[in-house]
Structure 1
Amino acid sequence: MSGYRRQLPSMTSLVVFEAAARHGSFTRAAGELGITQAAVSRQVQALEETLHLQLFRRLHRSIELTAGGHSLSKAMSEALGLVARTVRDITDRSKPAELVISASVAFSHFWLLPNISDFRRSNPDVKLTIVTQDSTANLLREDIDIAIRYGNGNWPDGKAIRLFSDDIFPVCSPGYIEEHGAPDCVADLTRHNLIASGSPDPNWTGWDQWMGAFGYSSDLCNITLSCNFYTDAIYAALRGEGVVLGWRRLVSDLLKHKQLIRVAAESVQTRHAYFVVLKPAPSRKPAVESFLAWIRSGTGESAAAPRGCKI
């Protein structure tokens, strides 16, 4: 069998063609490749002459792939993508494993960072980068390996694996109770200083939804402080500014160490849950499986589900 070299045209012209087809422009392809627009045009023309096939229709101010050009463009994109992934995979084996993890400000601050040392002890060779952001990162377009999200699990950019749901109840500092006393019931919360936190996430539960779950209007609430971030609202509660809604999974350490105290038996269970979202399988790094096994082992649903309303 003859080698590929005899069956293929110039690899340079093929690479230049792929860039021009992907951009739909000789000029933008030239910018990516660091050559002139005229050089791109010459390489494409040489390829067309070699193949005896027109690959682009030259229009007045644009270019357009022909049917043959479409077929070759698809094949080149797949082939170069495969080569690029293979090169990355074999070179990554000689480098320290690295994971880029995206999480919300609240989840990163109150759950991920307090627990991440457990993962690092069992995976000392994995280098971690944690990207903290409340906006939703797109795994198909951004250099992020794992996203931890709260919602219904339906995201188009990766595979969602459920971690846990949550329940929400009022908490405050011991100092606040000493000064103001503890609420007797849900209705009694209306006389207390309440701390609210906003979120761009429509699934977020605030005082409106929480009080409404028990038949009370939030109009009766005495919200004395509002924060853009949940982390700020929790810190305000720690300083004795009032009562805040505690998401059990996020404030468990603060409750354990008596920095915050639960002040009502009533709770609201979330319908949505926290999920780990992974890049599509061909793009995953080997260390992803180690992180997934670790976080699932540490965040399983408790054997006894908490009692309370569900919203």
Structure 2
Amino acid sequence: MRRKIPSTTALISFEAAARHQSFTKAADELALTQSAICRQIAGLEAFLGIELFRRSRRGVKLTEAGLSYSRRVAAQLDAVERDALAVMGQPGAGSLELAVVPTFGTQWLLPRLKQFQTLNPQVTVNLTNRTRPFLFADTELDAAIYFGDADWSGTEAYFLMSENLLPVCSPALLDEHKQLSAEQIANLPLLQQSTRPYAWRQWFNAQGLNVPRDMSGPRYELFSMLAQAAMHEMGIALIPPFLIQRELAEGRLVIAHQYSVQSDKGYYLMVPQRKVESATLQAFRDWLLGAAAEYRQQAGINPPS
């Protein structure tokens, strides 16, 4: 069945004219005549059965329908361009579209990814931020690294590492103390991680403390946001040390108390079952599991119980 889609030339002409709010400027950008732009847009309006522009002596202006359609067309043309550039950039090579939880991706994965690229120069790994599970069937993603309990329908889970949370803060909050007691920490502003809402409660309870305000305080979705807030003396945060190694080394953050609490969840590589046999994905999986095992051994991190 023939698709009911306008011509690409008409859509490109419309997107340029809508962006510039001018047929003349669109013609200059596309190296066409103004009359050619007019014909393309008139043909598109006839195809759609709606008016996209209002014409006057002062120029053209998008109608409400034209404005709505221009946004959709621009988004689709951008997607087509990205796909074309991706194919042009890696002719005949493999690529992986990987979703990652942001701070883990920037602080742990990216510093090690060059090793994978050296071993597999024919593979390009593209990273996209995702913090929560999603339907792989609705995306072009090949796999995901996420933090959770590995309960993700339609996927195979591969454990990478668990998470040990330590209280950290700006050195200014320590004042003359080398470290703070749990009771002192309980009286400071507690910075909360929105995807770990019970972290502070678990930390205090593990030390026999019941702190009524353990779930109070500003909430941030990313550990990178927590780290920034803590560095700016907004409070104290529970963060895995491996995600803030540079901040700790440079003294912008300090460990306020040596007790750490291990989460009952972990970081996993999640591979949709339909992608398990992919040779490119298998190569990445094997490398990632090896890198994670090496890190766990060095850091003394155990799987979640």
TM-score norm. by structure 1 comes to 0.60
Deviation per CA, 1:221-253, whole angstroms, max 9, x where unpaired? 596643343321111112333321012342344
Aligned residues of 2:133 and 2:152 also touching (Cα < 8 A) = no
TM-score norm. by structure 2 comes to 0.61
Give the length in aligned residue pairs.
218
Separation of aligned partners in 1, 2:137 and 2:277: 11
Residue aligned with 1:148, SS: strand
One of 103, 107, 110 as aligned partner of 1:110: 107
Deviates more, 1:139-148 or 1:110-119: 110-119
Alignment of 1:86-235 (within 5 A): 95-177=92-174, 179=175, 181-199=177-195, 205-220=198-213, 225-235=218-228
CA RMSD of aligned residues (A): 3.2
Aligned residues of 1:146 and 1:278 also touching (Cα < 8 A) = yes
One of 19, 27, 34 as aligned partner of 2:3: 34
1:265 maps onto 2:258 in alignment: yes
Alignment of 1:28-107 (within 5 A): 30=1, 34=3, 95-107=92-104
Aligned to 1:302: 297
Aligned residues of 2:275 and 2:281 also touching (Cα < 8 A) = no
1:289 maps onto 2:286 in alignment: no
Unaligned segments of structure 2, at least 5 residues: 5-89
Change (3 A) 1:267 1:293: same
Deviation per CA, 1:13-34, whole angstroms, max 9, x where unpaired? xxxxxxxxxxxxxxxxx5xx52
Change (3 A) 1:107 1:290: same
Aligned residues of 1:191 and 1:222 also touching (Cα < 8 A) = no
1:151 CA drift (Å): 1.9
Aligned residues of 1:140 and 1:157 also touching (Cα < 8 A) = no
Change (3 A) 1:293 1:228: closer
Change (3 A) 1:111 1:281: same
Deviation per CA, 1:81-130, whole angstroms, max 9, x where unpaired? xxxxxxxxxxxx96221100111223223322333233233333222211
Separation of aligned partners in 1, 2:275 and 2:167: 44
Unaligned segments of structure 1, at least 5 residues: 1-29, 36-92
Separation of aligned partners in 2, 1:283 and 1:306: 27
Identity of aligned residues (%): 20
Separation of aligned partners in 1, 2:271 and 2:99: 11
Higher Rg: 1
